[in-house]
Amino acid sequence: MVVIAGFLGLIFGSFATAASYRIPRRESIVTGRSRCPHCGNVVTAVENVPVFSYVFLRGRCRHCGNAISPRYPLTELATGVLFALAFWKFGLSLRAVAYAAFFWVLVVLTVIDLEHRLLPTRVIYPSVVAGWLLLTADALIANEPSRLLDALVGMAIFGGFFFTVAFLVPRGMGMGDVRLALLLGTFLGYLGGAGFVLLGMFMSFLTGAVVGGIAAVVTKGGRKMKIPFGPFLAAGTLIAIFVGRPVLDAYLGTL
């Protein structure tokens, strides 16, 4: 089951590469064939097999010979791994489907934010709506309606905190991060209430500080270096989802 989920993730990862390329450019993600960004030639089905085609073509376009960005196979691999982890953690369930879809959105937003420093509302708002529909259905099936209240509290904590920061320090936090925090708080709160949300927030800032510090030293960018925060929000959320329970138990055990 986990292996099958991983293969499905590779396929959806291929779609994620197209979505992350087209959405910032206001192009349709439903119609139109994938094309080489250099020569414009249509990518055939054989050339569009996740990961395999990149390796087979040695990372170059078959038509013009220009290098293909490694972000494409990396995006596909990341989505495949996250899909597999979703079904490993939640089993064959609607919850696994909901979180696999959530992870797909995080991958797309991470790629877009890294390249364009943008977290599009046309991705976040529909994801919030779809997420609530899926989580509501899962809560009803599992007969755990209290999880929805936890999700609402999580949305308020994560989104409210980031809105306050953006309001007080507008140059330090964009509204895109605030909107993303609403989505992250929903999915974190659904799993573990306020504790999970706070842990996700802490891990987001921790990973951002560590990676940002390393990047500043390596590139000698100093404090003026600007790094999008969306990927760190996604990373902190994933860490909380997969290892949050042992971390919280260990912390509470020391009190």
pLDDT tens, the chain, 255 aa long: 899 999 999 999 999 998 998 999 888 887 777 777 767 777 777 777 888 888 887 778 777 778 888 889 999 999 999 999 999 999 999 999 999 999 999 999 999 999 999 999 999 999 999 999 999 999 999 999 999 999 999 999 999 999 998 888 877 778 899 999 999 999 999 998 898 899 999 999 999 888 888 877 777 765 556 778 899 999 999 999 998 777 776 666 665
Q: Determine the pLDDT at residue 80.
A: 96
Among 83, 86, 82, 53, CA closest to 70:
53
- Same domain, yes or no: 27 and 150: no
- Same domain, yes or no: 12 and 119: no
Q: How many CB atoms lie within 10 A of CB 209?
A: 11
Q: Determine the pLDDT at residue 4.
A: 95
- Same domain, yes or no: 172 and 230: yes
- Same domain, yes or no: 115 and 231: yes
Give SS3 for 215.
helix
- Same domain, yes or no: 172 and 207: yes
Range of the domain at 67: 1-92
Of 49, 69, 92, the domain-final residue: 92
- Same domain, yes or no: 159 and 33: no
Give residue 205's Cα distance to chain centre.
Answer: 16
- Same domain, yes or no: 67 and 123: no
Residue 178 CB-density burial (10 A; 0-12 exposed, 13-18 middle, 19+ buried): buried
Task: Give buried/exposed letters for 9-47 (b at 16+ CB in 10 A, else e).
Answer: bbebbbbbbbbbbebbeeeebeeeebebeeeeeebeeeb
| Length of the chain, in residues | 255
Q: Determine the pLDDT at residue 250.
A: 67
Of 57, 76, 92, the domain-final residue: 92
- Same domain, yes or no: 146 and 104: yes
Q: How many CB atoms lie within 10 A of CB 207?
A: 18
Whether this prediction's pTM lies above 0.75 is answered by yes
Which residues, in sequence order, are bridge partners of residue 67? Answer: 60
- Same domain, yes or no: 222 and 114: yes
Specify the number of domains making up the chain: 2
Of 76, 92, 108, the domain-final residue: 92
- Same domain, yes or no: 103 and 215: yes
The DSSP secondary-structure symbol of 209 reads H
Q: What is the rounded distance in angstroms from the CA atom of residue 183 to the CA atom of residue 201?
A: 13
Give SS3 for 60.
strand
- Same domain, yes or no: 30 and 120: no
Q: Determine the pLDDT at residue 13.
A: 94
Q: Determine the pLDDT at residue 45.
A: 72
- Same domain, yes or no: 113 and 78: no
